[in-house]
Amino acid sequence: MSDWRTISNASDRLKWYQNKGQIKLNFFLSIIFVGMVLNGYDGSLVSGLQASDAWQADLGYPDGVRLGLLNAIGSISGLFVGPIITYIDENFGRRWGIRFYGYTMLIGSVIGCIAGVSGANGYGLFVAGRAIIGLGLASFLMTSLIVVQEITHPRSREAIAASWDSYWILGSVIAAWVNFGCVGFITSSWSWRIPYIIQVPFALYILIAVQFVPETPRFLLAKGRDAEAYAFLVEYHGNGDVDDPLVRFEFKEMKEAILAEQAAKAEKWSTILKKRSNLHRLGLAALMVFLTNLSGSSIIYFYYTTVFDLVGITDATTQTGIQAGLSMFTWFCQIAAVYVGKYVGRRKILLFIWPTLLLSLVGLCVSSGVFANASESNNRAGVATVALVWIYLGFFNASNPVLYSYPAEVQTFSMRSKGLLVWNTVSQLMSAYVTWVDAIALDAIGYKYYIVYMPLVVIQWVLVYFCKSYLSIIKKCGINI
């Protein structure tokens, strides 16, 4: 069987600025990346807003259970939209999930921004806005992973899929600096309303730009629209050359794979669950969720202000300034990991990173404990905590290219939507649990809560070590199908 890497293509003979098809394709991908920037901005925003006295006052000083619900509600609402989006993706096309994300982000941002205005129920409105945003976020994550795999040129698919989550970090960088400028230096309610309303133009761009995105060739082939699928490949992968060898190869490979899967009724749950290789695929998607959500990262992502409060760093400007620097550092770490992964292998990255996470959690527990039990303020414990937070998140974000590319990569076309439904369901369940429980536990036992995650990190490392045979499925079963 031919290898697409050795087949000639228009992209091999042209500079990037000469390849009009690739430029158009990059515009389509920009919608996905802007969506991820918006996702990262929104996901990092609330943790920074917790440092705002005005936000605390407008929402009635949420803590414990109420703060946990505020952070978890997006994941809870995202659970319910998964099956609906899977059905829509498989039957009506991939773009609807992205449209839905734009609408929910627009509506949810406006509702959240007016929380507490003129005596309105600040906490209730803000939570309602977070719930609406959560619906669209689950839709976008499932759909965008599929679109990246199905429209990207095969020459750049692996790198683009691996860099997908780096745009989340870029969004968090923007959020951190906006929070630093607003929360750190504005004392009125605009200190948090300005950062929140900034989400609106991002959402509007997505809603407008998605209208120009064509349907993916794999979806078109699955619906019998072969001519449209071939035209897509010719224009965007072959730069207009109808006889491009790689375009012909891609079309033939996809057509044969989809026909074989349809003949075997491979898209049905009953068929999917009968094959051992498919169970491995679903297991890998679930494992990536386990590593993402139950390694302690949620404490720092959602409650970093509480982490710093535990060691005496309570000034809003200082907290948001640290977050701003940290977000840039983690972005560079993730970009570096995308390139390192090409040479050392992605599984080896996880095996190296997880012991570092364990040591960081141990260090955070010790430094916070030293501060809590000291008879007077211990500045060195605070400095150590800041350093350990940077180390932890720097390494954790270096693992994200693996954690977010595998769930879609390992699925065949016929089970891609259903595989990501499993990924989304497990992800939303775990995320809702940890973000809610983290707030309650930190409020109740403080720094001792770090200990809960330590054995989980050890278990995760063991699972990654012994899943080498499962990862071989990626090479054996065709990630480009």
**Would you state the CATH architecture of domain 17-213+264-476?**
Up-down Bundle (1.20)
Q: What is the mean pLDDT of the chain?
A: 86
Average pLDDT over residues 283-292: 89
The pLDDT score that the predictor gives to residue 266 is 60
Q: What pLDDT is attached to residue 480?
A: 38
Distance CA 296, CA 448 (A): 12
Matching residue, tokens 């190869």 = 249
Query: Averaged over 237-253, what is the pLDDT?
Result: 91
**CA 88: distance to chain centroid?**
21
Q: Each residue of 434-473: pLDDT tens digit?
A: 888 888 888 888 889 999 999 999 999 999 888 765 555 4
User: pLDDT by residue (tens digit) across 343-366?
Assistant: 887 788 899 999 999 999 999 999
Averaged pLDDT, 22-31: 90
Give the rounded percent of residues in the chain with a pLDDT score beyond 70: 95
What is the pLDDT, as a whole number, of residue 468?
A: 65
What's the whole-number mean pLDDT along residues 183-200? 91
Distance from C-alpha of 18 to C-alpha of 23, rounded to nearest angstrom: 9
pLDDT tens, residue by residue, 390-427 = 999 999 999 988 888 778 777 877 787 888 888 888 88
Looking at residues 50-62, what average pLDDT do you find?
91
CA end-to-end distance (rounded Å), the chain: 14
Residue with token string 């065949």: 412
Least confident of 101-105, 226-230, 278-282, 294-298: 278-282
Cβ contact 319:305 at 8 Å: yes
Specify the pLDDT at position 477.
47
Q: Is 80 exceeded by the pLDDT of residue 134?
A: yes
**Which residue from 201, 432, 423, 185 is spatially nearest to 320, judged by alpha carbons?**
185
pLDDT score for 478 = 45
Amino acid in the structure at residue 121: N
